[in-house]
Homo-oligomer: A and B are copies of this chain.
Amino acid sequence: MSLTRFSINQATLKYSSLPEVIDAVRVIGASSIGVWRETVQELGASEVATRLADAGVRASSLCRGGFFTSPDPTAWRAALDDNRRAIEETAVIGAPALVLVTGGLPEGSRDLVGARQRVRDAIGELEADAQAAGVVLAIEALHPMYAADRAVISTLAQALDIAEQFSPAGVGVVVDTFHVWWDPELATQVARAGRGGRIASYQVCDWLTPIAADALLSRGYPGDGHIDFAAITGQVRDAGYTGDIEVEIFNQEIWDAASTVVARTVAERYESLVFPFL
């Protein structure tokens, strides 16, 4: 069945409850859900795990940990503690990976180099906990347009430069088409990630133009934008990735649509634009 590896990330159905997301996933025959921490914090990780198990649905990832760039040692340590809780939650819900958004420049700071070093150091502190829990820390390179306010890790090469300092059992990377599609080094870096066993998650959504007024919401259904899903999916396949493929879309119009309609649409796009190239 073609949706065996297909996952809907909760963010795609932002206004739906977990039962509604589970229903939508089951209706289309997908197999897993990318879970957000808000849900875990609301219901508790055990309860989330129970509901997923009862529905026969897996968790493909937990989103999200990270935010490691504070120059204040107390705040930085607090972020580590919070990420340790996120690692535990990831293990309890049975997801293989905790997605890390690394954090942007601290307020008033222009020191990208220092912020990037703190990301590396934080991952170094967390790696053993992750391995012990059977969880991979999945570093997500965010599009360079978020370098100031979301993530100082902007390319797959940068994410791999950090990940490769640790065991692949503890640290990997996310390949999210929206964030990396423009990168002239993409094919090279996906292959590199594959050789090292570093691809912890593959996420698909499209790049729309013009960029939305709220740049965070400028994502679209695969096929509605500029991204070549055949090419990138082929690279990820050739890199040996056999895990789940999440569709994660931040888009106000899609959030405002009925969850069943959205679920059917993403499933159709997955089947026509992604699955044939796996």
Identify which of B110, B112, B207, B215 contacts A211 (C-beta below 8 A): B215
Q: Which of A23-31, A77-85, A127-135, A150-158 contacts B (4 or more CB under 8 A)?
A: A150-158
Contact pick for A145, options B112, B149, B211, CB 8 Å: B211
With known contacts A144-B144, A149-B210, A215-B211, A184–B225 Cβ distance under 8 A: no
User: Are B111 and A144 interface neighbours, CB within 8 A?
Assistant: no
Q: Is the interface of A mostly helix, strand, loop or mixed?
A: loop
Question: A211-B211, A215-B210 are contacts. A116–B184 as well, Cβ < 8 Å?
Answer: yes
Q: Is A148 an interface residue (CB 8 A)?
A: yes
Whether A143 is near chain B, meaning CB under 8 Å from some CB there, is: yes
- Docked pose: A148 CA to B225 CA in angstroms: 9
| A231 CB, nearest partner CB in chain B, Å | 8
Contact between B145 and A145 (Cβ–Cβ < 8 Å)?
A: yes
State A209–B106 Cα separation when bound (angstroms).
13
Within 8 Å of chain B (Cβ to Cβ): is A100? Answer: no
Q: Which residues of A contact B (CB under 8 A)?
A: 105, 110-112, 116, 143-145, 147-149, 154-155, 157-158, 181-184, 207, 209-211, 213-215, 225-228, 231
Shortest 8 CB-CB distances between A and B: which pairs? A147-B182, A213-B213, A110-B228, A148-B226, A211-B215, A145-B145, A144-B182, A149-B209
24 A–B contacts, CB within 8 A, in A order? A110-B228, A110-B231, A111-B228, A112-B182, A112-B228, A143-B144, A143-B145, A144-B145, A144-B182, A144-B183, A145-B145, A145-B211, A145-B215, A147-B181, A147-B226, A148-B209, A148-B225, A148-B226, A149-B210, A157-B184, A158-B184, A210-B215, A213-B213, A213-B214
